[in-house]
């Protein structure tokens, strides 16, 4: 009986590991995801309950010719008054001509069902962040009971090439570095947010486009997280961050080129690290099988040495999923603080109202594995998609996202700087995949698109 229980727990943990999104960032990864995907069309319905045209997100149930449900999806539905023909030009602001969903083979039209009833929720996010919830539900969570001896891998991936053994020669650098303040960062009372500098077609955003993005979201967040150094992003983003008063969490995505990444950071910043809060090494590499624990820790040590030589004295951390960290807590033990990605959406037993509870539960599990249980733990990615396919109790949607984000913020009400929301804008440069419930592109806060993608 005990062996059976352990098997079930291991299976649950593996499910969560596979569910963690393989967010692809950085040069060689993002080039493979350049297929542009158009925004989904709206569905037009007639309903006497609406005196004028009204646009709402709804859960649509697709059925076959016999009325049997096939699948569900969150779609934008335009309700028109009864007896009113669909106008050639919609009266709704910026709404394209109504169109029906592409016909399904041998199926009847979709049936629109109201979204599942949720607790009173804040208005869907727009330019403003979701307000804190007045209360949080705390139901029991189906979470892993044991930790496997090694990290579960979604597939067999070739290991990275060995690190170069020859010493790296740095370019000429200044004799002294700008003084880094010892005081807490100015945005320490705000949550962090992740940001990618890629357009929907896969090209790099210009300095002006990055500045425009920051003008829309920067005031709501303290630290902005980047993942790599390609696209000249350290230069363009640091200029915007300095203009709008943000700090940065810079990232070394390719752990086989740590030295050159650090050099790019230093030269892009003109050796002024004052706006850099942290530098991360890798992103979910152990969880995805792209690197071993030893390779990640070797890269961490190399990055710390290179960064200190270039004048950065702040925290240097490895970032991986909570599943990988539970299996290999040394990823946190050897980092300057514990940096972990936790996505409640990929637990089919967790609904939007319980997102914060799930994240907090995983933090407590991690704390029990650390050599120093009092060590700072920062959630470097968490959020909720506003479009995609349902994952059990986890349902995408604008209202669901708003509720989930409020729940997460509530869990970090006393330490807002210890959580990064994923992500500032929708990532149309990514590919939708069934393994991530066709939601990979639609995690932008409030369903927001970057102006460069509109």
If you ran DSSP here, which 8-state letter would residue 204 be given?
B
Is 58 designated active site? no
DSSP letter, residue 358: H
Would strands 247-252 and 276-281 be described as parallel, antiparallel, or unpaired? Answer: parallel
Q: How far is CA 127 from CA 1, 181, 219, 291, 429, in A?
A: 53, 31, 10, 38, 22
Beta partners for 339? 319, 378
Supply the DSSP symbol for 337.
S
Task: Please give the Cα distance from 432 to 298 (Å, whole number).
Answer: 33
Select which of 381, 433, 440, 454 is catalytic: 381
Tell me how far apart the alpha carbons of residues 392 and 402 are, in angstroms, rounded to a whole number.
18
Name every residue whose Cβ is closer than 8 Å to that of residue 344 and which is 6 or more positions away in sequence: 350, 354, 355, 358, 359, 382, 384, 394, 404, 408
Angle, CA 408 vertex, CA 402 and CA 412 arms, to 5°: 140
Q: Which of 324, 327, 355, 354 is nearest to 339 (CA)?
A: 324
Give the number of other CB atoms < 10 A from CB of residue 89. 8
* Closest C-alpha to 338, from 327, 346, 330: 330
For 270, residues 6+ apart whose C-beta sits below 8 A from its C-beta are none
Residue 181 is classified by DSSP as: P
Residue of 257, 255, 209, 258 lying closest to 233 (CA atoms): 209
Provide the 3-class DSSP secondary structure of residue 215. Answer: helix
Q: Between the CA of residue 389 and those of 59, 61, 115, 154, 392, what are the distances in Å?
A: 10, 11, 13, 20, 9
360's tokens: 């907090």
Q: 433: which DSSP letter?
A: -
Q: SS3 of 309, please?
A: helix
Which sequence positions are flagged as catalytic?
381
């Amino acid at each position: 009986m005990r062996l059976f229980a352990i098997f079930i727990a291991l299976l649950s943990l593996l499910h969560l590991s596979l569910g963690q999104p393989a967010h692809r960032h950085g040069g060689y990864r993002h080039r493979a995801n350049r297929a542009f995907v158009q925004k989904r069309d709206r569905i037009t319905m007639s309903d006497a309950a609406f005196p004028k045209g009204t646009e709402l997100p709804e859960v649509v149930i697709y059925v076959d010719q016999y009325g049997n449900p096939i699948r569900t999806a969150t779609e934008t539905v335009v309700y028109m008054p009864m007896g009113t023909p669909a106008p050639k030009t919609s009266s709704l602001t910026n709404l394209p001509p109504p169109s029906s969903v592409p016909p399904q083979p041998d199926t009847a039209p979709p049936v629109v069902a109201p979204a599942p009833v949720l607790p009173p929720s804040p208005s869907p996010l727009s330019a403003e962040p979701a307000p804190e919830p007045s209360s949080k539900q705390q139901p029991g969570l189906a979470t892993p009971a044991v930790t496997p001896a090694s990290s579960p891998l979604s597939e067999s991936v070739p290991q990275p090439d060995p690190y170069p053994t020859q010493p790296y020669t740095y370019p000429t650098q200044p004799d002294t570095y700008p003084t880094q303040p010892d005081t807490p960062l100015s945005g320490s009372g705000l949550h962090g947010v992740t940001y990618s500098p890629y357009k929907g077609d896969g090209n790099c955003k210009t300095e002006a486009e990055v500045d425009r993005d920051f003008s829309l979201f920067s005031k709501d967040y303290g630290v902005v997280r980047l993942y790599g150094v390609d696209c000249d992003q350290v230069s363009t983003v640091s200029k915007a961050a300095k203009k709008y008063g943000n700090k940065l969490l810079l990232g070394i995505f390719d752990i086989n080129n740590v030295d050159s990444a650090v050099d790019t950071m230093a030269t892009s910043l003109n050796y002024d690290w004052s706006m850099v809060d942290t530098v991360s090494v890798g992103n979910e590499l152990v969880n995805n099988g792209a690197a071993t624990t030893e390779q990640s820790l070797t890269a961490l040590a190399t990055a710390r040495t290179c960064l200190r030589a270039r004048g950065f004295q702040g925290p240097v951390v490895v970032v991986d999923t909570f599943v990988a960290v539970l299996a290999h807590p040394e990823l946190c033990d050897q980092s300057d603080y514990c940096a972990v990605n936790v996505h409640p959406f990929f637990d089919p037993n967790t609904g939007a109202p319980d997102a914060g509870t799930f994240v907090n539960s995983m933090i407590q599990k991690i704390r029990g594995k650390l050599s120093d249980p009092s060590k700072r733990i920062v959630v470097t990615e968490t959020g909720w998609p506003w479009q995609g396919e349902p994952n059990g109790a986890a349902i995408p949607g604008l209202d669901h996202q708003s509720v989930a984000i409020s729940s997460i913020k509530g869990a970090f009400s006393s330490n807002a700087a210890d959580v990064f929301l994923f992500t500032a804008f929708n990532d149309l440069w990514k590919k939708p995949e069934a393994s991530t419930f066709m939601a990979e592109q639609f995690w932008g806060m409030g369903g927001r698109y970057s102006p460069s993608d509109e």
